[in-house]
Amino acid sequence: MIHIKSAEEIEKMRDACKVVRDTLLFVGDRIKAGMTTKEVDDLVYRYITSCGAIPSELGYEGYPASSCVSVNDVVVHGIPSDDKIIMDGDIVSVDITAEKNGYNGDAARTFLIGNVSEEKRKLVKVTEECFFKALEGLQDGTPLYDIGYAVQTHAESHGYGVVKALTGHGIGRDMHEDPAVPNFGRKGTGVRLKAGMTICIEPMITLGTWKVWQDAKDGWTVRTNDGKPAAHYENTVLITKTGTEILTL
């Protein structure tokens, strides 16, 4: 069931989303080659808790960390590890969710580490562009799949793959609420968005195939089938009568 947020609930979500935004800025200023992905996760935990918030991902369905730190061909859900060292030229997606006063905010960024190839840089840039393309014309009454249509059209115009097995989602008291928000779809279809809805729009775009697989060893890590890199860009978005408000920017 889709939950329309009250003005009071939206204010609480703004607080949680500010924590998420500031945490990603904090991490972005410090992430570098030579760090382990566990060290990145430690930064996330330290900053979120210093804000009086809770890292929602920690313990979620058994997930063992405060963030997802996904390197190169890992699309999402990379489990931070002392054994995974970030290298010069990597792209690293950091996806975090924070809960404050009973409400959640969620966002992801893909960071460029050192001397990143032009091919990877363009992938990260276009993935971010996909998010903003999805916002164009979005408001109360817009069909849901207009979001996916915009993401897919922009990504595929650059020859990139659009991950179909994973979606964005509603958010509020729970990290994942209805509706699912795919990154593909037919324009003019799907439920109509309503003012007061809060959703996470999160393009997951690949340099090669859109097909992915989940690592059976840990039950979480999702990688591209062809081993080519993927990028991820996400924000929590409020639907309004006349447009949108990005709560995690």
Q: What is the pLDDT of residues 106-161, one digit of tens each?
A: 999 999 999 999 999 999 999 999 999 999 999 999 999 999 999 999 999 999 99
- 164-185: pLDDT as tens digits: 999 999 999 999 999 999 999 9
Among 101, 92, 33, 104, smallest CA distance to 68 is for 92
Contacts of residue 97, defined as CB under 8 A and 6 or more positions apart, other chains included, come to: 20, 55, 56, 57, 104, 105, 106, 175
> Average per-residue pLDDT in the chain?
97
Q: What does the pLDDT read at residue 1?
A: 86
pLDDT at 206 over 90: yes
CA torsion through residues 125, 128, 134, 136, sign = negative
